Amino acid sequence: MQNDSIEIVVNGERKSVPADLSVSELLNALEVAADRVAVELNKSIVRKRDWGKTPVPNGSQIEIVQFVGGG
């Protein structure tokens, strides 16, 4: 069994994650609730509808912004 992982930076923190993840799989792996977040991959916003088909390459810079309601 092959255990390939890649190095990425998520919100300024270096992480090792499994290789060949899509953006939505990465959010699941990081245990981030996908319903209230925006994702930037290498300085480009990834539309929610594209998360499942957008790969996360080695060395990626990811910013995950969580929306917080209030009033």
Mean pLDDT, residues 1-16 taken together:
89
Confirm whether pTM is higher than 0.75: yes
Instruction: Look at residue 1 and tell me whether its pLDDT is greater than 90.
Output: no
Domain boundaries, the chain: 5-66
Over residues 15-71, the pLDDT tens digits come to 999 999 999 999 999 999 999 999 999 999 999 999 999 999 999 999 999 988 776
Instruction: Look at residue 8 and tell me whether its pLDDT is greater than 70.
Output: yes
The long-range contacts involving 12-18, CB below 8 angstroms and separated by at least 24 positions, are: 17/56
Instruction: Tell me what pLDDT residue 11 has.
Output: 98
**Could you tell me which CATH class the domain 5-66 is placed in?**
alpha beta
Identity of residue 13: E
